[in-house]
Chains A and B, each alone.
Chain A
Amino acid sequence: MPSAEVQVGLLQVAGLSQRGFARILRLFWGRRIGMASAAELWQARKRMEALTAKQITVDAAGAHISNLSLAVQE
């Protein structure tokens, strides 16, 4: 089963809301097959947001990625 981070990415690609995911989790007993809980997804999101590759800087010139090399490498 994919990790919680990968599940966050899959949700994003599929365009599925957190509420929709939670409903599927509940209806189909998703925990048995390794679906992440809402809390785990939230934590995974926080971890991903904290990655250096995701950080952006905002200044007078606009918003830009803080570390392009890391963002591309990721």
Chain B
Amino acid sequence: MSAPCAAERFVERHVYDENFEPIVKTALFTDASGSDPRVLLGCPPLNMKEVHLTVGVDKGGCPATVKIIVGFINQARPNIPNNTILAADCPCEKDNDADLNAMLRTLAPQVITLLTSGLLVNGERRAVRLFRKGEYDALCTLLGHKHASETMPCLVCLRTRSPSREHHTLDAEYLTLQDVTGTRTPRSERQYASHGRTGPIARCNATGTPSELQLAHLSVSLTPLLPAVPQQSFVVPLHIALGVNGRLLSLATECVIRWKGVAAGMRFAHSLAARLQSEVGVTPVPYHGGGFIVRDCHRIGDKNDVFCRLLLLELFEEYHTAYKRGWLLCNRVRKPLNRAAITTADEVKLFRADAGAFDAHLQSAFTWMNISP
């Protein structure tokens, strides 16, 4: 913090209101602010001067290690490794709860100290707004959520996975992740804290309907390892792009299986893999379920013509056009996810419209497609 300030590299970051106007900050952090529950959660009052920090969990490397990275957003390029702090590092096979718990047991009190004492910026004390970031699985572990295959898989809202007979009352009340439109019911930090404690008890006392049981724990099984604010937790955008790309690639094979059978689908999958390697220049890695990593998703997205042409040999023109349009809309969504920058209100509106159009197109053109795990 002192280094960017001394080098005049400190960049003020704002919190924006509903009209995308920056909220004016006048209040300074005081000793009394340290006991404010919102400050302890890393979510200080909106009028308080603040510094934006991220705590990220990342797994990777060979041999595999889990790393906890602290990022400082109030600078021009917050994501480059030189501008981040490696707070903890542990060799382990999986970023599961036990490993992370052991690492965070020592780190969590330090994070709390950071939140309660604030940070000095150019001689004035500021509160810390803390964002949690990482891959989805790691975030689930961090927040005490039960992972992506649960009935309520979203970390931010209470939408259910997909329509089901068992949870039709919840589907009606909170909607499902398959619904593009409709208002979502956000999760709250209190739900994470309280359901982490009551969740296991609710599961043991297995009385009541499945929906009632689900409401008792909201797919949260453990107390969060760090203070949890769902609206300040986000998945790394690159991982979203990788996931969407992977789904579109498997959709091509699904189309062939649907119209020409399993044997043709297998043949197509082999050709697709060969083309990805020879013409697109990407190779799946032996970990992460054999998926693609880093910038491969951008290369695949930019060269989608290669496998669209391959699909034309197998499908009717109509489906081929629909698939190609899917990639066109996907690329529009992917591009903004590929940069760290302050977006304008118009860009936010455009991104939401593009994401909606992409989703609506997939639902109308490929009716059998399901996005839930």
Residues of A within 8 A of B (CB): 13, 57, 59-65, 67-69, 71-74
Contact: A61 with B90, CB < 8 Å? yes
Contact: B87 with A65, CB < 8 Å? yes
CA A50 – CA B19 in complex, angstroms?
Answer: 49
Q: Which of B91, B102, B107, B114 contacts A72 (CB 8 A)?
A: B114
Contact: A68 with B119, CB < 8 Å? no
**Given A60-B102, A61-B103, A74-B2, A68 contacting B70 (CB threshold 8 A):** yes
Proximity string of chain B (72-100) to chain A, C-beta cutoff 8 Å, 1 when within and 0 when not: 10000000001001111111000000000
CA A74 – CA B82 in complex, angstroms?
Answer: 14
Question: What is the chain B residue whose CB lies nearest that of A58?
Answer: B89
CA A59 – CA B107 in complex, angstroms?
Answer: 12
Contact: A63 with B89, CB < 8 Å? yes
User: Which A residues touch B87, using CB under 8 A?
Assistant: 64-65, 68, 71
CA A60 – CA B99 in complex, angstroms?
Answer: 10
Question: What is the chain B residue whose CB lies nearest that of A9?
Answer: B3
Contact: A62 with B1, CB < 8 Å? no
Contact: B103 with A73, CB < 8 Å? no
Contact: B110 with A61, CB < 8 Å? no
B111 within 8 A of A: yes
**B266 vs chain A, min Cβ distance (A):** 43
**Given A13-B82, A74-B1, A63 contacting B113 (CB threshold 8 A):** no
**B66 vs chain A, min Cβ distance (A):** 8
Q: Which of A62, A67, A68 contacts B103 (CB 8 A)?
A: A62
User: Which A residues touch B90, using CB under 8 A?
Assistant: 61-63
Residues of B within 8 A of A (CB): 1-3, 53, 65-66, 68, 70, 72, 82, 85-91, 102-103, 105-107, 110-111, 113-114, 117, 119-120
Question: What is the chain B residue whose CB lies nearest that of A57?
Answer: B106
CA A65 – CA B70 in complex, angstroms?
Answer: 11
Q: Which of A60, A62, A63, A65 contacts B85 (CB 8 A)?
A: A65
Contact: B117 with A69, CB < 8 Å? yes
**B282 vs chain A, min Cβ distance (A):** 29
Question: What is the chain A residue whose CB lies nearest that of B120?
Answer: A73
Contact: B88 with A65, CB < 8 Å? yes
CA A63 – CA B89 in complex, angstroms?
Answer: 5
Contact: A72 with B82, CB < 8 Å? no
Question: What is the chain A residue whose CB lies nearest that of B72?
Answer: A72
User: Which B residues touch A69, using CB under 8 A?
Assistant: 110, 113-114, 117, 119
12 A-B residue pairs with Cβ-Cβ distance under 8 Å, sorted by A, are A61-B90, A61-B102, A62-B65, A62-B88, A62-B91, A63-B88, A65-B88, A69-B114, A71-B87, A73-B119, A73-B120, A74-B3
CA A74 – CA B72 in complex, angstroms?
Answer: 11
CA A66 – CA B273 in complex, angstroms?
Answer: 47
User: Which B residues touch A65, using CB under 8 A?
Assistant: 85-88, 107, 110
User: Which A residues touch B53, using CB under 8 A?
Assistant: 72
CA A62 – CA B68 in complex, angstroms?
Answer: 11
Contact: B119 with A59, CB < 8 Å? no
5 residue pairs, one from A and one from B, having the closest CB atoms: A62-B90, A64-B88, A61-B102, A68-B110, A69-B114
**Given A72-B72, A72-B114, A74-B3, A61 contacting B89 (CB threshold 8 A):** no
CA A72 – CA B2 in complex, angstroms?
Answer: 9
Contact: A68 with B105, CB < 8 Å? no
Which of A60, A64, A74 has most chain B Cβ within 10 Å? A64
Contact: B111 with A68, CB < 8 Å? yes
Contact: A61 with B3, CB < 8 Å? no
Contact: A72 with B70, CB < 8 Å? yes
User: Which A residues touch B111, using CB under 8 A?
Assistant: 68
**B38 vs chain A, min Cβ distance (A):** 19
**B220 vs chain A, min Cβ distance (A):** 24
**A22 vs chain B, min Cβ distance (A):** 24
**A6 vs chain B, min Cβ distance (A):** 10
Contact: A72 with B89, CB < 8 Å? no
CA A3 – CA B82 in complex, angstroms?
Answer: 20
**B6 vs chain A, min Cβ distance (A):** 10
Contact: A61 with B2, CB < 8 Å? no
